[in-house]
Structures are given as C-alpha cells and as structure tokens.
Structure 1
Amino acid sequence: MKRLPTLLLLCLSLVLTITAQENYFLTPQNKAYLFHTVRKSPILEKNIGRYIVYSGKEITLPNGEINYDSTEQVIINQPELLKIYANEIQRSPKGLLAELANKMAIWELNKVLKSHRSNDLLNDGLLTDYEKFETKLLLYLPQKAKKNKKDGLQVHRKVLKLSNPTLTFKDKVAMLDGFASWTENEKKQVILAYNKAINEWVKERTHEIFKLLGGKAEYFVNVLTAAGDGSTTSGLFEEREKDERGRFNKGLPKAVGLFPYEPYIGIKPNSKKEKPEVLSMGHTIHQFETVGQGKETNVHLDVWGYNSEKQTTVVIQKGKKYYPLFGSGDTRFISPDSSFGEGMTYYSLIHRIQRDIADLEDKISGKRGLDYWIEHYEDKRDDTKLSIDKTEKELNDIRYSTITTNSKKYKTDSKRSKRKKRQEKVVQLYGKLKSIEKKLVALAEEKEQVLVKKQVLNRKVQQMYDLIGQKWVPFTEKNGLYIYADSTRFDLLTQEFTFPANAEKEVFEIKLLAIPISYKSSQFDEVMLHINITDALPNYTSQIQLKMNDVFGVDDYKLPQNVLLQPSDSIAVKEFFEALLDKKKDFNIIARGGGIGKWKNEQVVIGDQKSEIDHYPGETNEMRKDSKNDSIFKRLRSTEVYIKIDRSTCLEINSYTDPVRSNFKPISSDLIKVQRNYELSGNQMLSAYRAYTTLKTLKNELNILAGNYLTREEAAKVIDRLNKAISKSKVTVGPTSIKYKAF
C-alpha cells in the first residue's frame, strides 16, 4: 500500500491503453455512493480501493480530511471523474464484493422506503422497486394486517408504518400493541413478514449488484440478522459524521434499522405484567449448507453495530466442531483469537455464572453452609428426642413406682416434686424439638431454593456452552491467516471463513451472540451481522488468470505466440511489479507438468497417468478428428497461469494433456534419463516442457513490460528479481522435479 500513489499515477497515465477495463454499469448516484462506501470502509478500501479512481479535485474539511459528501455531489454531476475498473474488481474476494453490493442494496432499500413515506415514488422513479418489496411483504403478512381495496390487496395503513427503519424493535412492538384484538402470535407474524421481505429484497438486489461488479457465483446466500433487546436501534440509522467543529455532515447512514431481529413470545424477566409478549432474541441461529460438488464454501461475515465495551461474538458450528470468532472495537474486525478484543465477553459472563454457582455450592456445602447447619440441627433434634425419651421414662418410673413405708406416716411430697420437674422438662424438650424441626424445615426449604437456583444457573451455563462451544477447533496463525486443524481457514484481512472443498454437502450454523448487561438482565447489547455465502474455486482471486486451451501443436511444446498478457491485465501486471519491488514480500514460483488431465468441478486437475489410450475414438480419421475437437478431450489440453498477490507473491503455471498417448521424447539426454528413471510418460514430459515454455515466454514478456511501465531503476530491480527467481525454479512432474535450467 505504500506504493499505491505510484500505481494510481500509472493507471491514469495509461488510461488510453486500459480504457476497456472501465465499466460504466451504475447510475451516477450509485457510483458516488459506491465511492463513498469503499473509501469509508478500511477492509473495502484496502482490497478494492485501488480499482476505483477519482480524478476530480479533492475537497477537504477544515481538519484536512476528505469531505465525502461534497465529493459525492461532484461525482453525481460529473460521473466521468470516477473510473471503476470492473475487470480488476471481479478478481477480489467474493465476500468483499458481496459486502459492497449488500451495503449498496441496503442504501437503495432505504431510499425506496423513504420515498414511499414521502409519497415521492413516481417522482423518484422508485415505484417498481417499492412494488417488489410490497409484493413480498403481502405474501408473508397475516390476514389481519392486509386490507382489500379497489386496487387490490394492500398492507394495512398502520402496519405500513413499521417500514420506517428508524423505529426500534420495541417501537414496532408498541405500535402493534395498538391492535387490541390481535394475538401475540399475529404481532410476531407481522415482524417476521417484514424480516423475510427485507432479507429477500436485499438478497436479490445484492446479487444483481454483485454480478454487475463482476462477481460470479453459482451458490449465493445473503442474510441480514440482528440480536439484542431491540432498544437502541433508533438513532443509529440516522447517525451522521461530524467535522472538528461538531457540525453534522450527511455521512453514511448505519442502516442498522433494516437488520431484522428474531422475535419470540415470552415473559420478560422481572416484568410487572407477567404476561406473554413479543420479545427479541438475545442470539440468532441460522442454518446453511456447504456447497459440496468439490468446491470451497466461502463465508463472509460483516459485523455492524460494534460495541467497544462488549466483545462481538459470532460462532460457526459444523457438527461437533466450533469455530468462534471474536470482535475488536479498535479494528472492527472479528478473529478466532479470543484475546483479540477487550471489554465484557461471552466467556466472562459464563465465568460470572460459574462463580455464582460456586457461591451457591459453598452456601450449601461450605464450612458453615446449609449442610453443616442441617447436620447440626439434626444432631440437636436427635439429642432432644433422646432426652425426651429419657425424661419420659423417668417420669413413668416415678408415676408407677411402689412405695414402701414403715410404721410412721408416709409423705408423698418428694415424689410429687420429682414428677413435676420431669413433666416441665418434657414440655420444655418438646418445645425445643418443635423449634428445631421448624428450623430444619426452613433450612431444607432454603437448600431447595439454592439447589433450584443452582440448577437454573447450570442449565444457563450449558445453554451458553451449547452456543459457543467448549472445545474449539485448534488453529495456527501467520500474518492474519488462521489455519484450523481440519484445513478450514479464516482470513483476518478479508473477514472470510472458508470450508475446504468437499464432494458432499454438510449442514453448518452461524450464531450471532449479543451480550447482556449481566446474565441476570434482560437488556442486551445490539449487534447486527451480514452473512454472505458463495462457492469458490482455487485461485479465483488471482490478479492474473490466463487459461490457454489447445494452443500447442501435436506433441509440440513451442507456443505459437510471444504475447500471453492482454491489455485488460495491465493494472494487475503493475501490481505484480509493485509486489516484486517490495523486498519484504516473499516471491514463489510453482510450475507443474500435470501430464494427463482430469475434468473435475469445472477445472482441470492431475488425472490418472495410466489411463492413456492409443488414439481418439472413431473408426475413421474424420471421426477421430471430430473426437479430438470434442470438449471432453479439448478442455483437458490446457495451460494455466496464475499470479496471486497476497501476503506473498506467487506465480503458478500448470499444463495438462489429454489421455491420448504421446510420442514426445525430450531433447536433452539428461531429461531422457529422468524420464526413464522415474518412468514418466510422454504426456508427462510434454506437459513439463510446455510449462517451461510458458514460464520462459512469460518471463520475456514481463521483462519488456517492466521497461514500459517502470522507471529504469525500478525496472532493473524487478527484472533482476524475476529472472533470478525463474532461473532457480523447478518444474514438478510426477514424483520428481526438473530444474528450469535443465530444459
């Protein structure tokens, strides 16, 4: 990025040669908003910004920062000042294209709904867009929320007010409470209807813009979701930027009001009403499937509504595998690293509950806990019962004992006194026993209450662990690229989570977890998430992608052309040169002679080298010629060139043949020995030579282009590094590799 100004100057200086790359596919307003969106988003600016070139006068605020509002207006009035290089943008990560498209789709839907509220749909030319939204809404609304009129079925006037994105979830519920005859379920259905209509409209428009930006995907899923108590959305939608004097600019609306909360019917904790009402979930769970078909599944996550005091948490779960991702308030990115952010976390809530559970356990079984006192009073009860039994026996003995007298008159005062004392003691002991038993009942009730609380907290902890998982898939990290133990990966720089290619589809879930003020509270933090899922093939983000099909003659390795790169590759070539000038960025070369190819999942891969056939199918030469030109064989005779610039720079060349036996023999005696020693087929050696020739041709062409695009000093550095790397490279074929110099 340090050399970006140089790159932009080169882009502008060569505008005549690359004009074909610029694509005017959007309205001036859309182009202006796209420019604003990309420039204000660090992740989009880093990955896509270089392909959006504004050549007009820079307008700044008094503090020196760019005034995007004024710049937008300039672009709307003079759209030719903004050039969007769609050919280059389409090679960006699909998730980033989807994020940009989604932001634009939300912005457009907001315009449509705003125009409807002000009765300006016809003047704004947005009637068709609104009708699409209303059609979807009517499809899902309950019958009570619709009215039959002369023009047909329409949304109830009061229900229509819920389309205002500045309303909070609670505002919407309060408005629906005005329908006294409606059930809570009908109110919930209205909110769900809006959720579905918004998601479907935004998904369709996002996909349209995604394709206009050059994105390609056979599998495309786009979901908006929000979690929390739905109390603080209002105002966020209308958020505006301020200059250094505190004055409001137009800015970019957050648009969080269009992110749907998941409603449910329940009783709010600590509520005085204690009656069922429509509430919003503190977490959401969405279920998806991997693409299968041998393709990667690319999951892009774009979090809105960050809170620096509470760590945003997103969890991806596939089977028993958990992949939690944690937010950072500083960068507004998520990462598998739980220490990535600060503030209250989901795990800190779990730990607080566990501490309270430990306190409850201590209250029961601690040194002076309930169990101690229960045992203490049980001992006292037993001792008291024993004393009662003993005293009653003494009393009984006195009552029925035989009295022996002499001739003198017998007096019974002493016996009566003893009996009275015993009787009083028995009464006293029974009173004490009653008090002890009452105490034991109270202790038992208190223990039961504590056990119930403990059970509730244990259940809550288990529910939270079910959401976030206890055993996470381990990973390693290098330069922001996280590789999990099962080869799943997460790229911090693009916010893309990728499941490796698999033939079968697999179910997985994405969970968005809002964090409450405390685990005892019903007030949750607000967090919104945009989820996009697409299919992906390897190397689709490579800046240069050359796929040459059937360009070599039979058993020949000489290219019939000296030029491989097209004018549309000019920006990518300059990026490649910029990368080579960066000494800190590694440069790797991979060249493969794949031999017989195999068509798999829309691409050629190395096939079974023992599957050679003597000739193309057919009884006559004409029939065999037709078979040769059939796509089944022709698509296998391919050579690919990829140049990918990421954390490192990689030049990759792959060459394949069809399965018809080749009579090719190496020219070099050393390579004949290699072929014999490793039992390589003619097709394998032929493909190795073709990979070598392609690399050599590309080297010569890049040497010339470096002289054209760069200063003499820079060109010398690029050519030197490129040629040295190629000179040291090897071509992999079968179980061995052959040095470039050996050909």
Structure 2
Amino acid sequence: MNYLLTSLFAVLLSCFPLIAQEDYFLSPQSKAYLYHTVRKSPILEQNIGRYIVYQGEEITLPNGEINYDSTEQKIINQPDLLMIYAHDISRSPKGLLAELANKMAIWELNKLLQSNRNNSLIKDGNATDYEKFEQLFLSKLPPQAKKEKRDEIVIVKRIEKFTNPTLTFKDKVAILDGFGSWTEIEKKQVIVAYNNAVNTFVSNRAQQIFTQLGGKADYFRNVLTAAGDGSTTSGLFEEREKDERGRWNKGLPKAVGLFPYEPYIGFKPDAKKKKPEILSNGSTIHNFEIAKEGKETNIHLDVWGYNSEKQTTVVIKREGKYYPLFGSSNTRFLSPDSAYGGGTTYYSLIHKLEQDIADLEDKISGRRGYDSRIKDLEGRKDDTNLEIEKKEKELNEIRYSTITTNHEKYKTDSKRKKRKKRQDEVVSAYNLLKDIEKKIRQLKLEKEQVLYKKSLLEKKVQEMYNAIGRKWVEYKEKDGYYLYEDSTTFNMLTQEFVFPPSKVEKEDKEYFDIRLLAMPMSHLSNNYDEVMLHINVTDATPLYTSNVQLQLNDLFEVDQYELKQDQLFTASDSIAVVEFFESLLDNKKDLNIIARGGGVGVKKNNRVVINYNPSELSNYPGDTQDERLAAKESSRFKDLRTTEVIIHIDRSIEMQVNSFTDPVQSNFKPENEDLLSTMNRNNLSGNQMLSTYRAYTTLKALKSELNVLAGKYLPRKEATKVIDRLNKAIDKSKITVGATSVKYKTFGK
C-alpha cells in the first residue's frame, strides 16, 4: 500500500476515530471473502483496495506471496482486523462496486446451493435464502416440473439436480432428455426458469451489497450471460494455493457454472438423426434503458471465461451506432482497439468467409467457372443441333432420291451405303447431344449447389456484420481512455463504458443492446468456444467519482463575498484530500484549475448551472418583510446560492470552483478599479461580479486550507512539493465570468 495512504490511516485512526467507524453490514465470512476478492483482482485492488485495510499479521506462502486462504480464516475469527471505509469506497467507479457486489452475490449463491446439496441448510442458517431461490425457480417452471407434496407445490426431484452449478449446459439437457414424454418446449422452459432464478437472485443480492458499499443508483441492472456450445463449462472450479506449510488450500471459486446459456430448439448440423433438441446460442443479446434526468448511463463489463487464442468480442449498439469491444489475449480486459487482443478475431472469421465466398463466386463466374463451361457446352449443343439438322436433311435427300429409266421415275436404294453412313452420323450426333445435355444438367446442378452454399455463407456473413456492425463509431485514445466522436467514453482501466446524458425528452425512453459473441471453432464451424460475461448498467451523475465534491450553500451574507465559515473540509474528506496530495506528487498528471463566477444559477438535473437568460427580480416575492424573508429561505432561492468545489483525479487533476447567486438583483460593485472596468466593459451584472468575487474567495480559502492540511498529513519534503505546485497553479489561474475571465492575482491588488 502507498506510504502516504498508510500514514494517513494512522493519522485518521488516532485523530478522527469516527471516520474509521465502518458499517457492520457483512458477516465475518463475507468480509473475509470481500478482502480475498479485492486483493486477488488487479482492477479492484487498484481502485478499491486502499479502502479495505487488513490490520492483522499477514501470513505468507513459501514464495513470499500472501496466503489469502489463511488470512481469510483469521478475518473470520477476528472480524475487527478488517476495516472497510464505506464512505470512501462509495466514490469508486460504480461498475467496480457492482463487480465486487456481483462476485460476492455469486459466492453467496454458491454457498447456498452447497448447503442444499449437503442437506445442511438449517445448520448453515441458509434455509430462508434457499427458499427465496427455490420460489424464483418454481415460479417459472412448466407444470410437468412441479408436483404437490404435503399440500404444497415443490420441484420434481430430478429437476432439483439443476441447482448443482458444476453441471454443464449439456449435462442439464441430458437430465431433461430423461423425461421422454416432455416436449422440447417444456425442456427449454426448465432451463429458462433456472436461468431466471440465478440472474434474479444474484441481481437482487448484488444490488443490496452495492448499496451497502455506498453505491447509489436509481436504475440498476445486473446480468450474467454466457455464449457458446455449453460443453466445457463445468462450474465452480477452485483455485489451488499452498499454505505456509506447503499444504494445498482452496482459493476463490470460479463460478462460471452459474452463468446462464440461452437455449433454443434446433437441429445439430452434424447429428446423424435429424431431430429437434435443446441447443445453446453462440451469441446473446440484452436490452437496457438509457438514463434520464441529465444522468450518464454507466456500463461495466466483466469477462469471466475467455480463450487466449480467440478474441472475446462484446458489441454495444445504440440507434444504429456500433461500439465493439475486444478482449486481450492474456487478460479479461476489453478495449475498442481490435488489435489490442491478438489471436483469432471475429473479423478474421468474417474475412475467411468472404474469401470462401469469393472462391465460390470464382467457381461460378470465373474464367473456367460453371457459367463459362455451361456457355461453352450450350454453344456445342447448338452446333450439334445444327449438325443433326444438316445430316438429317442430307439423309432425307438420299432416302427419297430417284433415277429415270425410259422416261419413267423409280425409287431406288442405289445410295444405300451413303445413306447408312449418314444414319450413323446422325445417331452419333444425337449421342453427342445427349452427352452434352447431360454435362449441362450436371454442371447446372453443381452450380446450384455452389450457389446454395454461397448463399448460406453470405447469410452467415450478413448475420455476423449485423452483430458487429460494418461502420463503427470513431474514437481517439490517450492512456487507455477512449473518447468517441459522439462524446461516449470507455475507460480501459476500469472497464467502464459511459453514454453521456441523453438529449431526448424525459418522457421518451431510449434503449441500447449489449451482445456477447462466442467465437466459432473455425469460420465454417457450427461449434462455438465459450465465454461468460457480467454486465452491470446504472445511471450516474456526471463527475460522481470526483474525490472531493463540496456543495456549499449560503456561504455568504447578502452582497458580501467573505466566507462565513472557517473550514471548507470536514474530517470525512481527509482520505480524499490525501489522495489529491498523492496525485499532485505525480508530475505526469496535469493540474487544471477551473473557476467560474456563474452569476444567477438555475437548477437542472439536480445541479445548479449557469442561467444564460436570467430574469432578475428587484426583491424576493411577498407583501411583508416576513414573507420576503421566508421566500429568501425557500429552496426556490436558497438552493441557487451555491458554491461548489470539485476535485477530480483521473489521468489528469482537475480542481473546479463554481459560485452562483439567486435571481434577486445585486447592487454589488467592486472597489478594485481594474475589476470595475472589466465589469463595465463587458456589461456584467452585479450578480455575475459578486459570484466571481465569491469564487475567488473560495479558491483563496482552498489554497490556505490545503496548505495547512499538506503540512499536517505529509512529511515535510512531500508537503513542500505539494504546496509549491498547488500554489503556483492557483496563482496562475483565471476566473471565468460571462464571456471574459479575470486573473486570480488581479483580486489581490
């Protein structure tokens, strides 16, 4: 763990004990599993790991690595050894919170199913939760899969075997095939019912854990999905790792067996007996809503099963726009860059199919293709028909020729030899014609077969293009951050794909699809590789991951710009402040100071923004002083008198200070001649100038307070670097107001 943060925790634990007070919402076993999961997942460790602090002695393996299994047991026995800073975790990317919550929910479901298989539900305290899962399963089952027992409806015993997550998709189909009287539709309904039970249970529990971890979302969708032929997913494989004595322990479960394959009724292409049966789809598609009310749509994708030789492919589609994402050859990470992964790609399969189509087209219309050969034979056929007509005419002339004797005409066979020769020639020509026509029929039949094969390949290519798109939305990339031309973004480090706030009217709903594509074993194969994907979609307020988000209301007296409070930060902001200091020590991160005197504000999507067409009032509404005072303190006006401080750390550091007023006219005029001149020259209102001064005062207070906190939290050397960099940036900053800006230093003159 970073030295600075370690030091911070020591300070906080001694100075601010309330911050270290965690929410005890997890059982000791769940806390231990959360610790293990975060530590073993690079993406979670990088983004959340610092907020989960194990304070006990770490047990290591012979190779020096941490023995997570033994550490888990220690946490179970002594839960207080693990501190979970839920307040700070809540600022993490929502998708990562959802990923952690999803993994914990799957783990809990696995434990639940294990208890049922071991007949220990009551002993393990899982009876109530299993009953919930069973009811979800039961509610979607066809009548044939249920029976009455002791005045209640229960699942048929053999169908209960479905709750074993180590079963492959084909194992489940084999169980169903044992019901000889069932139709394929009824068998499919059982698989769909189980899939629904798993997804609903995991989604509900994941949302609970997500909320307990501090996540906030009005729209929360959590989906597990799998694509492929379902032959090799054998469920909950266990990691193995040796303990400090060299013994093998079980690690985290790889719960791929709980990812549902989507069934359909079809025919196996290579089956000897053509009969309908339950098969699994080589691709899946799920539909989601676009967030409203000025919120972003936050999509998190977490690949579970992947093949290093075949590139995992996920496609997001919205209103005809395609955003494909491709898997790496050695990690579960996705990227818009198709060259990122390597191995067999979806497009390489398309190109092979297109090459096969081109080869078939050459067989048809090429130089020695079917069309050319048939045309040649048709020509020979015409020539042969002409030859036959000619020979038959000659034969008739010979056959009916006469000789004259004593002025009388007699028929004669005097040209018998000649006639015999012509007859043989006619027969030979007819035989040749027959052979030509046979060859033409054969070539046309072969051509039809090639055309049919070509049409199947063209259909397959079209389906593949429909899935992945022919034209993708363009993007620019910097340091793993992808910005699309329509302002959509993808962050490779967090695997978060974000649609910006929708411009569509609030009442109208917008949708988008996420498609998971399994790779065929080859471009001509109907057998697919297998891939599992966790999808989470939430709504999100823009900049919700900002380390510092201060919404300071009514900080100033009427027409004044001096702060009424001594401190802007509270103890709960301490970790975020030190993270800000950490980032300032990284000279590779640019520091941008943005300050705005917004003038009259307006509420939009639960946030105050600049009102570009304000209608200023001469006074607060009301006939009496009390009524006007009540109006002033009402949310209509008070909410607009806001100053916000935002510190956002990503690939760069951004500090924002924005100040707004309510729409009541201000008589404020600056004493500074330069600023008064700026006000008059740019026709700025009193409210605009007042909010500019307030932004300056807030920025000045931030500078002073952060200087003090840097000296408090950091060693002298690091504190000096942080203070110097921060002060220089603030001193060089400008405060924007209207169409102009004012230098920070101008206010100090």
TM-score by length of 1: 0.97
- Provide the rounded CA distance (Å) in 2 between the counterparts of 1:280 and 1:723: 61
Residue in 2 that maps onto 1:481: 481
Q: Deviations over 1:491-524 (max 9, x none)?
A: 1111111111014331110000000101332321
- Provide the rounded CA distance (Å) in 1 between the counterparts of 2:117 and 2:458: 49
Contact persistence 2:601–2:640 (CA under 8 A): yes
Instruction: Indicate whether 1:652 and 2:650 are aligned.
Output: no
Residue in 1 that maps onto 2:138: 138
Residue in 2 that maps onto 1:548: 552
Contact persistence 1:284–1:513 (CA under 8 A): yes
Q: Deviations over 1:628-667 (max 9, x none)?
A: 1111111111111111111111111111111111111112
- Provide the rounded CA distance (Å) in 2 between the counterparts of 1:696 and 1:399: 124
- Provide the rounded CA distance (Å) in 2 between the counterparts of 1:661 and 1:13: 47
How far residue 271 of structure 1 moved from its aligned partner, in angstroms, is 1.0
Higher mean Cα deviation, 145-154 or 383-392?
145-154
Residue in 1 that maps onto 2:721: 717
Q: Deviations over 1:475-503 (max 9, x none)?
A: 00011111111111111111111111014
1:317 aligned counterpart, secondary structure: strand
How far residue 410 of structure 1 moved from its aligned partner, in angstroms, is 11
Residue in 2 that maps onto 1:14: 12
Higher mean Cα deviation, 611-620 or 445-454?
611-620
Distance 1:243 1:391, change over 3 A: farther
Contact persistence 2:297–2:538 (CA under 8 A): yes
1:716 aligned counterpart, secondary structure: helix
Residue in 2 that maps onto 1:239: 238
Q: Aligned partner of 2:549: which letter?
A: Q
Q: Aligned partner of 1:16: which letter?
A: S
Q: Deviations over 1:269-322 (max 9, x none)?
A: 111121111111000011111012221111111111011011000000011100
Higher mean Cα deviation, 13-22 or 346-355?
13-22
- Provide the rounded CA distance (Å) in 1 between the counterparts of 2:27 and 2:222: 23
Aligned pairs, number: 740
- Provide the rounded CA distance (Å) in 2 between the counterparts of 1:269 and 1:363: 25
- Provide the rounded CA distance (Å) in 1 between the counterparts of 2:54 and 2:42: 17
- Provide the rounded CA distance (Å) in 1 between the counterparts of 2:594 and 2:575: 22
How far residue 21 of structure 1 moved from its aligned partner, in angstroms, is 2.6
- Provide the rounded CA distance (Å) in 1 between the counterparts of 2:670 and 2:305: 63
Distance 1:455 1:247, change over 3 A: farther
Contact persistence 1:8–1:53 (CA under 8 A): no
Contact persistence 2:555–2:565 (CA under 8 A): no
Contact persistence 2:4–2:714 (CA under 8 A): no
Q: Aligned partner of 2:573: which letter?
A: D
Residue in 2 that maps onto 1:310: 310
Q: Aligned partner of 2:403: which letter?
A: I
Instruction: Indicate whether 1:444 and 2:448 are aligned.
Output: no
Q: Aligned partner of 2:550: which letter?
A: L
How far residue 329 of structure 1 moved from its aligned partner, in angstroms, is 2.4
Residue in 2 that maps onto 1:301: 301
Listed as ranges, the matches of 1:327-726 within 5 Å are 327-404=327-404, 415-504=415-504, 505-726=509-730
How far residue 401 of structure 1 moved from its aligned partner, in angstroms, is 1.7
How far residue 9 of structure 1 moved from its aligned partner, in angstroms, is 3.3
Residue in 2 that maps onto 1:218: 218
- Provide the rounded CA distance (Å) in 2 between the counterparts of 1:306 and 1:21: 40
Higher mean Cα deviation, 721-730 or 518-527?
518-527
Contact persistence 1:203–1:221 (CA under 8 A): yes
1:194 aligned counterpart, secondary structure: helix
- Provide the rounded CA distance (Å) in 2 between the counterparts of 1:567 and 1:25: 22
- Provide the rounded CA distance (Å) in 1 between the counterparts of 2:247 and 2:429: 82
Listed as ranges, the matches of 1:32-71 within 5 Å are 32-71=32-71
How far residue 13 of structure 1 moved from its aligned partner, in angstroms, is 4.1
- Provide the rounded CA distance (Å) in 1 between the counterparts of 2:141 and 2:622: 62
Q: Deviations over 1:377-427 (max 9, x none)?
A: 1111111111101100100111112324589x9996750000000011111
- Provide the rounded CA distance (Å) in 1 between the counterparts of 2:503 and 2:737: 26
Contact persistence 1:86–1:213 (CA under 8 A): yes
Listed as ranges, the matches of 1:30-179 within 5 Å are 30-150=30-150, 152-179=152-179
Listed as ranges, the matches of 1:204-215 within 5 Å are 204-215=204-215
Residue in 2 that maps onto 1:324: 324
Contact persistence 1:63–1:243 (CA under 8 A): no
How far residue 367 of structure 1 moved from its aligned partner, in angstroms, is 1.7
- Provide the rounded CA distance (Å) in 2 between the counterparts of 1:520 and 1:204: 40
1:310 aligned counterpart, secondary structure: coil
How far residue 17 of structure 1 moved from its aligned partner, in angstroms, is 2.5
1:615 aligned counterpart, secondary structure: coil
- Provide the rounded CA distance (Å) in 1 between the counterparts of 2:544 and 2:499: 15
- Provide the rounded CA distance (Å) in 1 between the counterparts of 2:113 and 2:455: 48
Contact persistence 1:312–1:513 (CA under 8 A): yes
How far residue 212 of structure 1 moved from its aligned partner, in angstroms, is 0.6
Contact persistence 2:59–2:67 (CA under 8 A): yes
Q: Aligned partner of 1:240: which letter?
A: E
How far residue 4 of structure 1 moved from its aligned partner, in angstroms, is 1.5
- Provide the rounded CA distance (Å) in 2 between the counterparts of 1:471 and 1:410: 86
Contact persistence 1:664–1:682 (CA under 8 A): yes
1:20 aligned counterpart, secondary structure: coil
How far residue 716 of structure 1 moved from its aligned partner, in angstroms, is 1.0
Contact persistence 1:557–1:686 (CA under 8 A): yes
1:339 aligned counterpart, secondary structure: coil
1:378 aligned counterpart, secondary structure: helix
1:221 aligned counterpart, secondary structure: strand
Q: Deviations over 1:126-148 (max 9, x none)?
A: 11111111111111111111111
Higher mean Cα deviation, 208-217 or 55-64?
55-64
Contact persistence 1:18–1:570 (CA under 8 A): no
Distance 1:410 1:615, change over 3 A: closer
Q: Aligned partner of 2:601: which letter?
A: G
Percent identity between matched residues is 66
Distance 1:724 1:390, change over 3 A: same
Q: Aligned partner of 1:199: which letter?
A: N
- Report the RMSD for the aligned CA atoms in angstroms: 1.8
- Provide the rounded CA distance (Å) in 2 between the counterparts of 1:680 and 1:13: 47
Contact persistence 2:402–2:412 (CA under 8 A): no
- Provide the rounded CA distance (Å) in 1 between the counterparts of 2:340 and 2:493: 14
Residue in 2 that maps onto 1:193: 193
- Provide the rounded CA distance (Å) in 2 between the counterparts of 1:431 and 1:246: 86
Higher mean Cα deviation, 378-387 or 411-420?
411-420
Residue in 2 that maps onto 1:4: 2
Q: Deviations over 1:651-693 (max 9, x none)?
A: 1111111111111111211111111111111111111111111
Higher mean Cα deviation, 444-453 or 239-248?
239-248
Contact persistence 2:11–2:713 (CA under 8 A): no
Q: Deviations over 1:683-704 (max 9, x none)?
A: 1111111111111111111111
Higher mean Cα deviation, 667-676 or 464-473?
667-676
